[in-house]
Structure 1
Amino acid sequence: MIGETAVGPKAPAARGRGLHPWAGFLLRRLAGLAVALAALVVVTFLMMQLIPGDPARALAGDTATGAQVEQLRHELGLDRPLTEQFTSYATGLLHGDLGQSFQTREPVAQVIGSRLPFTAELALLAIVLVLLLAVPLGMAVAIATRGGRRGRLDAAFTFVTGLVGATPEYVLGTLLVLVFAITLGVLPAAGAASVTALILPVAAIALPATCVLARIVRRETAGVLEQDYMRTARGRRLPPLRLYARHALPNLLTGTLTMGGLTLAGLLGGTVIVESVFNWPGLGSRVVQAILNRDYPVIQGTVLVLGVLATLLNMLVDLLLGLLDPRTLNGRNAP
């Protein structure tokens, strides 16, 4: 095989006395995961203290007396010192307890468990769509515009992907509803009653991420196409599919996954926002309701779960990078 992965230097041995490269790599990633999770627990707790308003007052209603509000604050544990509240919160997490909803008194784990499958369905479909569209699109544009050719195509690609990629998901979702649900009437505007109800929310989530990732793939492909081994491969007049799929694609995936992992992790947050636009029965609508009612445990639990999923997704990307390019196992970027 012609390519950097075939002729590049072997992965250097991990530092340490006989430590296998994969062992050192996994230890670093697990340590980073532990730090990220600890920081996430602290942030989700402190974030609730910054929300203006009193959840006890919101729960008791405007007609409640001061004594009734104070009694409710005591029952909810809001009158305890912050250190004591945090200790209780962290201890509960260690035992798998996310607390109880202030509003409905349901366990937060139960609230999240009943709605997370709907959010996961949108997010997974969007991720698959992003990968299926962004990689071929970015490669095709880079190949078509190699060496400064087809300048108009390059300019149009840059303009369209920049515009759509910068458009917030909820704005794009509103536009899609206006066009395809209200004006054309070909797709449902909200709900989850049918398979077709998935089309608009998945498109609203996937299109901005697709444009961002396609720009990354286009840039990485343009760099790969100028390498000596690609010139050699073109000189051998290999079939286009073999030339680009076998020799170009493996060598551009390292940089693409490094940046694309952040894009895909951010897609989870976009999923929650889009759910509110389409009245999708996932975590999004429940979080909006919890914010309005100052239901701290539901907000904390949802943000924590989404943060853990994003962290695990980034770790999965790191593992894929290690498999594709062993040189990254030593903590160094491939040249």
Structure 2
Amino acid sequence: MTATPAAPAPPTTGAPGTLGGRWTQFALRRGGRLLVSLFVLVTASFLMIHLVPGDPVRAALGMTAPTELVEARRHALGLDDPLLTQYLDYLGGLFRGDLGESIQTQLPVGETIGRRLGATVSLGLIAFVLALLIAVPLGVCVAVATRRGRRQRTSLGFASGSVVIGSIPDFLIGVVLVAVFAVGLGWLPVAGREDGAASYVLPVLALAIGPAAMLARIVRVEMISVLESDYIRTARAKRLPARRIHLVHALPNAVTATLTLGGMLLASMVAGTVLVENVFAWPGLGSTIVSSIVTKDYPVVQGTVLVYGVIVLLVNTLVDVALAVLDPRSTVGEA
């Protein structure tokens, strides 16, 4: 009797519960959240200019500006159209890459932001890398030295110091750094970006010191937890070198929480450049948004807030993706 050949199994790439299905669901959830967040951000940035008391054009041009000039600028900016029409025009402009026009300079907002964006992003990224280079080795070393209750004074000093340093505002750290290293010792430039790499030192330190202290504390806690796990005890029983145990087996498993917090810190560091840039007269988005608020140039404020928000959303999304790659279990069971 000839056996009937079995029918080919259906493809399971997108079936629920499979690897492909989990990744598809993860991508749909993350993409949906990103779109909703972008919609809320765009709507909030649009309404911001309309919720400000008074007439932004009159405030920007001055109380003595002729009424004809004010009305002409309002018409040119479309501020005399119905609110819904303005909102639809705003959305259409965003799809074309048009963020509007500055009331003060009458230049495109996108052009103004484009000239300053690189300075802000470079400052935030360099500070983030420096924070990681300080926090991860420091947290690992303190964890190894203080695990199982050893060196209580070191543990207490590290915990207390990291909390104190992490709670100091970055702009205050910047003021202290300027007073000591720029004004007092004269080693580094006080402000600006004209002195090349030396110009980055103080603002980068001002941005990185607090987050590095917070991140080092998280690295220590996670590392201690991993060092007490069963597979690390097995590795020690096999007489593996301590360096291999700490760096190859323990550190990758302690990086998950560090990556999550690090992503949030990167987003907050980019947004935190607003105050630090003004301390150091840094030609980035932070100084742009402050000067625009002072001059009542609300379209520039609106565009800058939108760009900051998009940067934060994209960073958080990239962190979620990186976390899912390192730990695929995080793609399962999310709301």
Report the TM-score when normalising by structure 2. 0.89
Q: Secondary structure at the match of 2:65?
A: coil
Equivalent residue letter for 2:188: L
Equivalent residue letter for 2:193: A
Hey, what does 1:289 align to over in structure 2? 291
Shift of 1:60: 2.3
> 1:49–1:234: structure 2 CA closer, same or farther, 3 Å change rule?
farther
Shift of 1:105: 0.8
Percent identity of equivalent pairs: 51
> 1:323–1:18: structure 2 CA closer, same or farther, 3 Å change rule?
closer
CA contact (8 A) 2:167 2:210 kept: yes
CA contact (8 A) 1:188 1:197 kept: yes
2:212 is the alignment partner of 1:221: no
Hey, what does 1:27 align to over in structure 2? 28
Hey, what does 2:6 align to over in structure 1? none
Equivalent residue letter for 1:166: S
Hey, what does 1:126 align to over in structure 2? 127
Hey, what does 1:86 align to over in structure 2? 87
CA contact (8 A) 2:323 2:330 kept: yes
- Return 5+ residue gaps in structure 1 as ranges: 1-12
> 1:320–1:148: structure 2 CA closer, same or farther, 3 Å change rule?
same
Equivalent residue letter for 1:22: W
Deviations 1:163-196 (A, max 9, x none): 1211111111111101111111111110111211
Hey, what does 2:248 align to over in structure 1? 246
Shift of 1:245: 0.8
Larger Rg: 2
Number of equivalences: 321
Distance, in Å, in 1 between the alignment partners of 2:300 and 2:269 is 21
Q: Secondary structure at the match of 2:281?
A: coil
- 1:128-207 equivalence runs, <5 A: 128-194=129-195, 195-207=197-209
2:268 is the alignment partner of 1:273: no
Shift of 1:259: 2.5
Distance, in Å, in 1 between the alignment partners of 2:15 and 2:45 is 35
Equivalent residue letter for 2:36: V
Distance, in Å, in 2 between the alignment partners of 1:73 and 1:329 is 49
Shift of 1:53: 4.5
Shift of 1:23: 2.3
- Return 5+ residue gaps in structure 2 as ranges: 1-13
Hey, what does 1:4 align to over in structure 2? none
Distance, in Å, in 2 between the alignment partners of 1:313 and 1:292 is 29
Mean Cα deviation higher: 50-59 or 248-257: 50-59
> 1:166–1:21: structure 2 CA closer, same or farther, 3 Å change rule?
same
Deviations 1:13-67 (A, max 9, x none): 9737995332222222111111111111012122333434432222222323556
Hey, what does 1:5 align to over in structure 2? none
> 1:124–1:67: structure 2 CA closer, same or farther, 3 Å change rule?
same
Equivalent residue letter for 1:328: S
Distance, in Å, in 2 between the alignment partners of 1:159 and 1:233 is 32
Deviations 1:125-181 (A, max 9, x none): 111111111111111111111111111111211222111211111111111101111
Mean Cα deviation higher: 20-29 or 131-140: 20-29
> 1:232–1:19: structure 2 CA closer, same or farther, 3 Å change rule?
closer
Report the TM-score when normalising by structure 1. 0.89
Mean Cα deviation higher: 256-265 or 280-289: 256-265
Shift of 1:70: 4.4
CA contact (8 A) 1:189 1:278 kept: yes
> 1:44–1:218: structure 2 CA closer, same or farther, 3 Å change rule?
same
> 1:324–1:120: structure 2 CA closer, same or farther, 3 Å change rule?
same
Q: Which has the higher contact order (CA 8 A, sep 6+)?
A: 1
Distance, in Å, in 1 between the alignment partners of 2:17 and 2:234 is 39
Mean Cα deviation higher: 46-55 or 319-328: 46-55
Distance, in Å, in 2 between the alignment partners of 1:323 and 1:17 is 15
Distance, in Å, in 2 between the alignment partners of 1:145 and 1:48 is 53
Deviations 1:212-270 (A, max 9, x none): 11121111112111211112222333222211111111111122222322122111111
